[in-house]
Structure 1
């Protein structure tokens, strides 16, 4: 077998299919674009859905890629098996309505076995097929020449994810020999496709020939597709002859670096440490690539996944004796391994390291809090004579503090306790159901639209230079059917050319009119989208008569177009300004360009300060006032990259691209519309900045007339404030407001002083009124004070005087009840807790609360229940 590196294998795969007429699709970001059904890109086909569901017809129906992917559904198995990973690369070749089984099966065999390619031993390859797919079996046997006894029927070989494209598949296995196996030679599972370690699945060929309808029926697709997937890590393991994925050149440098950082721990020394080494190596790759693509740690969605992976890696580093931040130090190692195909990792190394190190430090603080919670739980259980950690506590340790449940079990067992795993699983299932409900019913892939896919007429967009054109109506669609004429209602139309911009890249579609030869408006354009074959598909409201083959004047709403174009230019200026102020790590994460405002989403680790927003705003306005010319030209993709043109996040580009240049300030790949000069924008004003997700910020802004109107409105509000504070000059308003605030602060202090005196008066003799309650002494009272602050002050006095074992106070303020409980240190040692008392008595005032063992508080809706709450305190304490 050839000795090949992982980089060589990846490139060889792409070169092979390029030789078969495939276009190489670059690996897309791990963060899905316009796909709410996926948290992460999880396969090679995930980024090609638009081709497979027919919403877009590709320029070349033959595509190949090496796609970085993340799957976390089996995260608990990572490190414990030979194959489970969270981050992996999927090699794939795809046919969109072009070749099918007769071509793809022999090609797969050629790539795997031919000497000029991988040169695998043919006698070690086996395949599985769907039992009803006799055609695939025939090709494997008669064309490839594979013996029937090496072709296995497997009922599960049918790829189906619900509604949408589906079909049978054929898996290819490599026999690594019985020495690799974990089952006996005569075990029923010892066959290709069985549960064993001997036969390694290296490639899956999916024959997408059916459409799964909502009613459950399977019908043939108009265009049959091929979708294959080969895990690079598994293939490298086979070729490099390693026992698991982790001994390959994709992981070993990370493991070796971890060894150097550990407390003299070594890989392959013992199984327990090996699991930790593998988890760290896998998670280091995942978080490095995910953060590099714009994801940031948080408590939800992708951010939650990242946080969990980082914490899991840190916990396993702790098991290897690593007590300081270390995971960030593995980022350059990951970058060096992958630099041949993913040079961006090393380019963004410093930012990725910063994010990971910050999260590591934060978790070390959380880790101590989690350990404290578990220790307190164990102590409480032992005091009560109980021996099972509640499932809810184990889940909280997992969900809030990042403790794997196995670690909770280990720590509990060290103290002679067990964990309620049924309760833990119930909490886990409830979380999954909440997540499933949050995702909604969005379908992973739509069905092909045969009618639109079949329209191949040419349609040229002229709107970069023109807003009015003569055009011939080529296709007219009413109620999902091609018609020759329409006289009323909504229709879809395609012309041989059009000045109407189709919605794309965040820029909304043009609106306007369709005018006949007599000068009458016969339809109004409501929306424009791209049809599967790339034409601009106009949705129109028909007011006259539209006829296929007739010539019409297409007239864009000029004012709307101008406003949209100005806001589009503003997003380009803003994009560059953000990089200048925040750093090169930030990139666009979405945009919306409307006539009246623009919205720009971008990645950033942390909030954007008011000073930074001012800098950004000033930079953009400076470019507007410089009156920079805006030009565009089409050029080869590689030439555009050499010129430094910026590619927008998530976009795909063909061999020829349109590059828009704004003076000496900005150069981007762009298919939208712009004015001829930045001076057309007049003015740029940021109206809002906010966080919309983990590591994603949003700026909203206006230009031109809307910016002028916004500033006028702000000035009018300032005049109102000036009148309210009796300031004759706007410039004097800040000083006047500051003066009023100082007066208010002084008045508040005076009020607080008076309230303290009233509280002291109300509490006169309070600490002399202790009464017995079981084995304890209790002071309880309802006082007429301003609120909870005053009750806490009295609790401090009580604590200093050690007037009783327990204090329970209440007051009615602003129509609500406030309750406070305090417990002495001696009473706490005997099992009395303020939180328990508050939770028991708060329902009497229709409220709830909690707190520490020594101090707790509650609020309630019913002040009339205060006497009952105080009486209940006696009962609760007596029961202790």
Structure 2
């Protein structure tokens, strides 16, 4: 068996079926398109349903793919078994009404056993078949020549999911030997297809030939199909002789990186630590791919799956002694492992890491206290000789610390305990009833701080109408998560005032900054950040400059310059949102935003990129609305009235009974709790500075307004002036014409260079073609030449063919960037005698680290090992000698 990397194995599989006439279908997004039956793409065939059900006819009925997939139905087993994964790759070949059993079986055997391909030892392969599938059994025994003692009949070998296509299947197993087994040699499950670790299933071929009818009968399908699946991870474990899938190059770099971040923990030292290493490596792969494809953490659907995976991995990180955010450091590792076939993860590593970091930090804030509570709960339960964690205790973990029920259950199971799920559900129902009765329109903060949750003091936000407050009372002082009566310089303090003009960060708008003054006008603190406390108060994070005490009267002033810039960008964001709807269609909607004083960022849903013309149109609309001097009005009303007004909800939020609606002339009307300018003319100018994709179906626009927009355009103007000088244009308006002239001049120069290179190649050909070898009655010209690349090699081959100089030609050249090009050719007489240019190129290309192919008369290849070119040319002589013996 060859020693290969996962990348090589995947590519060899695809290359094999490409040779058999299959089209390579790129791996689709993990997010199903127009398929409400699936939460995730969970198999190689899942993206091809449209072909199998006949709703779409493929251009080529033969398809092969390597499809990333996610399954989370048995997530609890990940890390505890050798081959359970959340994200995995399925290699498959499919026939849509084309070839059937003979080709599928024989090709599977060829790929697995041929020395050219996987080169498995046939003696180690076993096959299972459906007992009634006599045709498959015949093919295995008569055509493949599989020994009878390597064929096992299994009743379960029938693929059937209810009404629809169904049929028998045949599975191929690899015998790893008794040393890999978890069972005794005489165990009744110790056979191919049994529950054991010795015989590893590597391939399943489904013969879709029946239609399972509503009447529970099986009628022949008019078009028989082939659906196969080979799990890449488990096949790699065979090639790399790994104990489990995790000791392969798909996971070991992640495990190694996790080791370095752990508290001196080492993989393969003990079973419990190994589980944590495996869970982290598995989950970060799934997280990275899912977010990269456009899924985001949330409390429902696939978003909840991501959140659960992140939290589960974080908890296992804690078990390994890892403090703080660490999954973000593993995202680039995932990207580097998979970059050859899935470059998108590495390309989006920064974005993915940002999402993951946010989730990690949110969970890490309460994880330490939560784990302590969980450990105490476990110890108490054991001390009381009980085997079940109380529902009330588990609910407290969920409600206060954000622990998903499933995670607590898994943690308890590791300690040999169960969980009172009925008690948990009862506590959950009571909490919902309390929330409906008492919380009114208070917005949930999710994972909450216990101290802050208990603070009920009233704080009024007046910033919509007042930029400052002359007299307000300090009602709460918090230092290091404790209520105090006084604070001093150096304290890490948070303050709640009875009345405040400071906007708390919400809906993408950043918080206000400003100062706190005493009654004498002295600045005693700087407000650096403002967030919402659990009960709705604005919680001010301050830098303490002088002693302060509870009940003290102070005055508050926001930074007006900062505040007004944020207002301009927030109003511009509303205009941008509506302009995008106007240009792209109503299907687009906000997927996130950030409103800073110096720029705005707006994420929105859209299939495909946004063209330059569309962006120009969006930008023009926004500026037209700015210059139209539209009045910006704010209305407080009930939700139904707001909806009747046509207001659009910008965020996926829960709104109270009374909502704020921001109306910009007759152009835009949206739910919004942020601050805005009074008239669009205050924005001055709007300029889009970038548009990009941040995930499947999600685009991002960054823009600037007012002074920042002017500075941006002024910078572009300066840049254009510089370009004008470099191209020697008297005026900026002459730059395009000058560039056209330079391009024309460059094209002429390139043509002259090409002509010169052609002349050199022609002259060199005269010398090369003189060196002819005669081998067993056939002639060969084989040489290394100095030409510019493949184009020049083809010209030499054309001259060779026209002049009929030899039976076989093999020439190659290298370039300055380290690349190698090879061409082989065989004359008509040479082809008649059995010589093929394609066979020759496949023989010599490996010497230059490449591969290639072509027709019998002409073939070409590329490589990245210039040092091997001489050996490749010499090998052509050996090849011809062997062919003509």
Q: Deviations over 1:570-614 (max 9, x none)?
A: 110011111111111111111111111111111111221111111
Q: State the 1:475 CA deviation.
A: 1.6
- Given that residues 391 and 420 in structure 1 are in contact (C-alpha distance below 8 angstroms), is that contact kept between their aligned partners in structure 2? no
Residue in structure 2 matched with residue 727 of structure 1 by the alignment: 729
Q: Quote the Cα distance in structure 1 between the aligned partners of 2:667 and 2:612.
A: 23
Q: Show structure 2 runs of 5+ residues with no match.
A: 1-28, 60-92, 121-168, 172-202, 210-223, 238-244, 252-280, 289-308, 313-362, 367-400, 402-447
Corresponding residue number in structure 2 for 1:464: 464
SS of the residue 1:660 aligns to = strand
Alpha carbons 1:819, 1:838 under 8 Å: kept: no
Structure 2 equivalent of residue 479 of structure 1: 480
Aligned partner of 1:443 in structure 2 is 311
- Give the secondary structure class of the aligned counterpart of 2:452: helix
User: Aligned-pair distance for 1:679?
Assistant: 0.3
**Distance across 2 between alignment mates of 1:799 and 1:411:** 48
Q: 1:310 to 1:439 in 2, by over 3 A?
A: closer
Higher RCO (Cα < 8 Å, 6 or more apart): 1
Q: Is 1:632–1:658's contact at 8 Å kept on the other side of the alignment?
A: yes
Q: Is the CA contact (8 Å cut-off) linking 2:757 and 2:787 kept in structure 1? A: yes
The answer on 1:314 being equivalent to 2:50 is: yes
Deviation at 1:560, TM superposition (A): 0.7
- How much does 1:770 deviate? 4.9
Q: Secondary structure at the match of 2:649?
A: coil
- Of the three residues 871, 874, 878, the one matched with 1:871 is 874
In the superposition, relative to structure 1, how do residues 850 and 461 fare at CA in structure 2: closer, same or farther (>3 Å)? farther
Alignment of 1:226-265 (within 5 A): none
Q: What residue number does 1:544 align with?
A: 546
Conserved? CA contact 1:287–1:310, under 8 Å: no
- The answer (yes or no) to whether the contact 2:571–2:680 under 8 Å persists in 1 is yes
Q: Could you list the per-position Cα deviations for residues 66-113 of structure 1 after superposition, in whole angstroms to 9, with x for gaps in the alignment?
A: xxxxxxxxxxxxxxxxxxxxxxxxxxxxxxxxxxxxxxxxxxxxxxxx
* Cα deviations by residue, 1:191-219 (Å, 9 ceiling, x for unpaired): xxxxxxxxxxxxxxxxxxxxxxxxxxxxx
User: Tell me, what secondary structure is at the counterpart of 1:726?
Assistant: coil
Per-residue deviation, 1:697:
1.3
**Is the Cα–Cα contact under 8 Å of residues 567 and 702 in structure 1 kept in the other structure?**
yes
Shift of the 706–309 alpha-carbon distance from structure 1 to 2, 3 Å rule, reads farther
Counterpart CA distance in 1 for 2:627 and 2:170 is 60
Indicate the residue corresponding to 1:858 in structure 2.
Answer: 862
CA contact under 8 A between 2:206 and 2:226: conserved in structure 1?
no
Distance in 2 separating the partners of 1:459 and 1:773:
97
Name the SS for the 1:623 alignment partner.
helix
Match of 1:631 among 633, 647, 658: 633
Structure 1 519/694 Cα, relative in aligned 2: closer, same or farther at 3 Å?
same
Alignment of 1:265-414 (within 5 A): 287-288=33-34, 305=41, 311-318=47-54, 323=57, 382=110, 386=114, 409-410=205-206
Within 2, Cα distance between the matches of 1:309 and 1:568?
A: 45
Instruction: Report SS of the residue matched to 1:816.
Output: coil
> TM-score, normalization: structure 2?
0.53
SS of the residue corresponding to residue 648 of structure 2 reads coil
After superposition, the C-alpha distances for 1:196-251 in whole angstroms (9 at most, x for unaligned) are xxxxxxxxxxxxxxxxxxxxxxxxxxxxxxxxxxxxxxxxxxxxxxxxxxxxxxxx
CA-atom RMSD, angstroms? 4.5
Tell me, in whole angstroms, the C-alpha distance in 2 between the residues paired with 1:558 and 1:521: 16
Matched residue of 1:443: which SS?
helix
Q: In 1, Cα distance between the equivalents of 2:504 and 2:473?
A: 18
1:796 CA drift (Å): 5.0
Contact 1:390 1:423 in 2 (8 A): no
Alpha-carbon deviation of 1:811?
2.6
Which string of whole-angstrom CA distances, capped at 9 and with x for unpartnered residues, describes residues 791-819 of structure 1?
A: 34434555666766764433343263523
Cα distance between partner residues in 2 of 1:828 and 1:511:
83
Q: Secondary structure at the match of 1:664?
A: coil
Structure 1 residues 385 and 631: CA distance shift in structure 2, 3 A: closer
Matched, 1:840 2:846: yes
Q: Residues 467 and 558 of structure 2 are in contact (CA less than 8 Å); yes or no, is this contact kept in structure 1? A: yes
CA contact 1:776–1:878 (8 Å) conserved in 2: no
* C-alpha distance 838-386 of structure 1, shift in aligned 2 (>3 A): closer
Structure 1 CA distance for aligned equivalents of residues 112 and 851 of structure 2:
24
Secondary structure in 1 matching 2:620: helix
SS at match of 2:570: helix
Secondary structure of residue in 2 paired with 1:566: helix
Q: Is this contact kept in 2: 1:472–1:551, CA < 8 A?
A: yes
Distance 1:671 1:376, change over 3 A: same
Does the 8 Å CA contact 1:502/1:537 hold for their aligned counterparts?
A: yes
Q: Does the CA-based 8 Å contact 1:589-1:602 persist in structure 2?
A: yes
Counterparts in 2 of 1:595 and 1:422: CA distance versus 1, 3 Å = closer
